[in-house]
Structure 1
Amino acid sequence: MIGRIVRSADFERVLGTPSRARSSHFAVHHVVAEPSLPQRRLSTAPADLSTGDAPASHKLVEDRPVQGRWLGTVVPKRLARRAVTRNLFKRQIRAVFESGSDSLPPGLWVVRLRAPFDRKQFLSSASDVLRAAARAELMQLVGKLAAKRPAVNA
């Protein structure tokens, strides 16, 4: 199973790297890392212990291998005007990455729509033809990524 990237900091971190693979409509970015954890808010309430706060001990985890894959999608409104089209692309991206995730290295993955599909060629905003074209292009991208086996970066 592939998780979802939900924090904007993770999107920025992944999109800050060069794309690993591109097609005419999509670009794929990858970082070998795990999603960031939300920051803990410090409490200003008095401590429950009569001795005060316990000392904070921080354990650093170094060189721990990344386990799992997380996927984020970026489908801008300026490239896919209708919500039904944006949702179609997001569903196709998730479906293709779920099916091909075993061949991909672990880490954070972001797939971004980089160019619009021709509205003259695909008249309906959620047609089976558009769905098939997006899926075929995404399958080619996953095939390229599986063949490349990207190098480790942080």
Structure 2
Amino acid sequence: MKPIVQKADFERVLATPSRSRSAHFAVHHVSGGPCASRWQRLHTAESKLSTGDAHAGAQPVDDSARPAPEGCWLGSVVPKRHARRSVTRVLLKRQIRAAMARHADVLPPGLWVVRLRAPFAVAQFPSAASDALRQAARAELEQLFGRARRS
């Protein structure tokens, strides 16, 4: 499982209808891999350099230009308006990554984005990072990915 880092990938996935929803989360999926980064687009096209063919045999220093193997990429959207404290946002993002790791082998490959769409009740979960909140998020994400796998 790899992270989604490009804004264009988030926009492309979130433009699709949700694959599965729960009281607090929504899962979006697009098959295929991420968009090529700006560096890859600039350096894979024929470049018009004044040095002519001198650049043709050069190899990039990093391997970001290599096509990524087919697999799952994960992005999470946990906005401040639904989780005011950073402790809560971090807890939810960790739960999202852990749930995706547990289900990655049975989910279809592609880009996956999990979005927090409603806040957890402060009256029910007064602590920003309580065990009760962790267990509630985990249970809800398990159901969510279970439904996403079947659809």
**Length-normalised TM-score, structure 2:** 0.82
Deviation string, structure 1 residues 41-83 (Cα, Å, up to 9, x no partner): 4778631647xx76xxxxxxxxxxx810000000000100000
Q: Which residue is equivalent to 1:17? A: 16
1:108 and 2:107 are equivalent in the alignment: no
Amino acid at match of 1:142: F
Which residue, 40, 47, 54 being the options, matches 2:51?
A: 47
Deviating runs (4+, > 6 A) in structure 1?
none
Instruction: Count matched residues.
Output: 134
User: How far has the Cα of 1:38 moved from its partner?
Assistant: 1.1
User: Which residue number in structure 2 is paired with residue 30 of structure 1?
Assistant: 29
SS in 2 for 1:37: coil
Aligned counterpart for 2:97 among listed residues 90, 94, 97: 94
Which one of 93, 109, 120 corresponds to residue 123 of structure 2?
120
Query: Which structure dedicates a bigger proportion of its chain to helix?
Result: 2
Structure-1 residue corresponding to 2:141 = 138
SS in 1 for 2:144: helix
Percentage of identical aligned residues: 59
TM-score, length of structure 1 as denominator length: 0.81
Show structure 2 runs of 5+ residues with no match.
57-68
Question: SS of the residue aligned with 1:11?
Answer: helix
**Shift of residue 9, structure 1, vs aligned partner:** 0.3
Aligned to 1:85: 88
What secondary structure is seen at the aligned counterpart in 2 of 1:102? coil
- Secondary structure at the aligned position of 2:123 is classed as coil
What is the CA RMSD across the aligned residues, in angstroms? Answer: 1.9
Q: Which amino acid aligns with 1:146?
A: R
Structure 1 counterpart of 2:147, which letter? K
Tell me, in whole angstroms, the C-alpha distance in 2 between the residues paired with 1:127 and 1:92.
13
How far, CA to CA, are the matches of 1:146 and 1:20 in structure 2? 9
- Match for 1:126: what amino acid? A
CA distance in 2, matches of 1:120, 1:44: 62
- Residue by residue over 1:59-113, the C-alpha shift from the partner in whole angstroms, topping out at 9 and shown as x without a partner, is xxxxxxx810000000000100000000000000000010111110000000000
Superposition pairs of residues 62-73 of structure 1, within 5 angstroms: 67-73=70-76
